[in-house]
Amino acid sequence: MPLLEVKDIHARVVNADKSILQGLSLSINPGEVHAIMGPNGSGKSTLANVLAGRPDYELTSGEIRLAGEDISALLPEERAVRGLFLAFQYPAEIPGVRPWQFLKASVDAIAEYRGEKKLGVREFTKVFEQAVKEVAINPELSKRSLNEGFSGGEKKRNEMLQMKILQPRLCVMDETDSGLDIDALKTVAAIVNGMRSPERSFLIVTHYQRILEHVTPDFVHILVGGRIVKSGNSQLARELEKTGYERFIKVAAGA
């Protein structure tokens, strides 16, 4: 059974006329890494957010299944506790809430859903501090409010910190690699590679071949006009680097 199955979805901004996603299908098996590439405005972030359940979007047709369960009508928090994680392109700033406190609440919510015992403060602190080291986040940041005054790269690292601690089944990463310096990019790649397992899958939205040099995807999809117009293996990403999207845009327009 696929871990994620997206069947012919159409999605739009709530109450808007025009659909952004127009008949998109995608199937990801456990253990696979998929990359999604596509021009600006083609619907990549919309797809990522529709998967995560952002209330601004509505699914007008099609369905989304996570490990066989139809999650199309579930709230964002209900999807998250089931193991779906979105690393945001633009993570929100949360005044007065420290990263530790935020993640503890998150870990507790997941434990509660699973009917597991919550981690004690000391146990969780250990997990947290270990992850802070591995993600190479400046420990000073965890004393501040979450994401407040973090640099672009620091925000991205913080998303990886959360992904690492929450251990989701499906990791959707929306341009985590954009705006990262070389060291940070390598850290992100190392985290993804370290988390790869036969049960866990990744959907990586990116504009650049660069990250895919470090994290070899099983599949690469090209998203144009709210639809996947071409799928292939990692070779496709390399070709794109040379040819650009033009020919796919023509295909999409002709279809």
Partner 1 sequence: MTTLTRARTGPFAADYAALKAAAWLTPARERAWERLQEAASPSERRGNERWKYTDVRPLTSVPYRLAHAGALPGLAEVKKIAPWDDAWTTLTFVDGHFAPALSTEPTGRVAAGRLATATASVQSLLEARLAKVQAIDEEYFTLLNTAFLSDGAYVHVPDNAVEERAVHLLFIASPATSPRVAHPRTLVIAGKNSQSKFVESYVSLADSDQHFSNAVTEFFLDDGAQVEHYRILAENEKSHHIGNTRVHHMANSRFNSISFAIGPAIGRNDHHALIDGPGAETNLSGLYMTTNGQHMDNNISVNHEKPHGTSRQYYKGILAGKSRAVFSGIVVVKPGADKTFADQKDLNLLLSPGAEVDTKPSLEIFADDVKCFHGATAGHVDLDTLYYMRSRGIGLEAATQMLIRGFAAEVVERIKLPALARYVEGVTEKMLPEFRLEVPK
Ligand X SMILES: Nc1ncnc2c1ncn2[C@@H]1O[C@H](COP(=O)(O)OP(=O)(O)OP(=O)(O)O)[C@@H](O)[C@H]1O
Nearer residue to ligand X within complex by CB, 170 or 205: 205
Q: Does 99 bind partner 1 (CB under 8 A)?
A: no
Single residue of 24, 32, 45, 99 touching ligand X by CB under 6 A: 45
- What is the C-alpha to C-alpha distance for residues 52 and 200, in angstroms, rounded to an integer? 16
> Which does residue 144 touch among Mg ion, ligand X, partner 1, none (CB within 5 to 8 A, set by kind)?
none
- What is the C-alpha to C-alpha distance for residues 39 and 207, in angstroms, rounded to an integer? 8
Nearer residue to Mg ion within complex by CB, 47 or 84: 47
What does the block give as tokens for 243?
Answer: 């040819």
Question: What is the signed CA dihedral for 37, 38, 39, 45, rounded to 10 degrees?
Answer: -80
Give the CA angle between residues 89, 94, 97 to the nearest 5°: 135
Question: What is the signed CA dihedral for 193, 199, 203, 206, rounded to 10 degrees?
Answer: 10
Near Mg ion in 27-66, by CB under 5 A: 44-45
Q: Which residue is nearest to Mg ion (CB)?
A: 45
Nearest C-alpha neighbor of 142 from the set 163, 125, 122, 118: 125
For the bound state, the minimum distance from the C-beta of residue 200 to partner 1, rounded and expressed in Å, comes to 17
Q: Does 92 bind partner 1 (CB under 8 A)?
A: yes
Single residue of 20, 33, 166, 191 touching ligand X by CB under 6 A: 20
Single residue of 2, 10, 102, 186 touching partner 1 by CB under 8 A: 102
Kindly state the helix (H) or strand (E) to which residue 48 belongs, with its residue range. helix 44-52
Q: Which stretch, 22-30, 80-88, 128-136, 188-196, contacts partner 1 (CB under 8 A)?
A: 80-88
For the bound state, the minimum distance from the C-beta of residue 247 to ligand X, rounded and expressed in Å, comes to 18
Kindly state the helix (H) or strand (E) to which residue 25 belongs, with its residue range. strand 19-28
> Which does residue 80 touch among ligand X, partner 1, Mg ion, none (CB within 5 to 8 A, set by kind)?
partner 1
Sign of torsion over alpha carbons 78, 99, 119, 170 = positive
Nearest C-alpha neighbor of 223 from the set 42, 68, 9: 42
For the bound state, the minimum distance from the C-beta of residue 245 to ligand X, rounded and expressed in Å, comes to 11
**Sole residue written with tokens 């650009």:** 244
Q: Does 225 bind ligand X (CB under 6 A)?
A: no
**Contact set with ligand X (CB under 6 A):** 13, 20, 38, 40-46, 56
**Contact set with partner 1 (CB under 8 A):** 52-56, 75-77, 79-81, 85-86, 88, 91-97, 101-103, 105-106, 109-110, 113, 145, 162, 166
